[in-house]
Structure 1
Amino acid sequence: MPAIVGIVQVNSIGSSGVFHIGDVYQIAPTSTAKTYSGAGSFNTGERLYVYNNRSKTNTYDKDVKDQGNVLNV
């Protein structure tokens, strides 16, 4: 069923976001990311004690290319 839409103001859309007005069959945004973080980086909670005196994050990627988003719908 068609929609009647009035004035729309868009301030920003992220790199993998979708802005659509009207009828649609399928919307499938995709994105990829590679994240490097040290030991204890994603810990959450109260009274958290993490001791990493000698922590090192290895960011070397010998295969250079990772899996892409082609045909990932």
Structure 2
Amino acid sequence: MPIYEFACKACGKVFEKLQLAGRENQVKCPVCASEQVEKKISAPFLPSSVGKPADSASCAASAKPEGCASGG
């Protein structure tokens, strides 16, 4: 199950909740128990390998002092 971030419209508390998508109407604020919560837009999770070469071992053995981070 994914973790979503919510903001309470009643008290302003921002909190995270582990839940199934489509069940946002069942969320209550953990501070004031209000059901007036808004799902916030969160940045997607990207694995640390995104943007790295497919063979990162060849990067480590690179003769260049900056490794593979030079972008070209």
TM-score by length of 1: 0.21
Higher RCO, 1 or 2 (CA under 8 Å, sep at least 6)?
Answer: 1
Normalized against structure 2, the TM-score is what?
A: 0.21
Of Structure 1 and Structure 2, the greater strand share is in 2
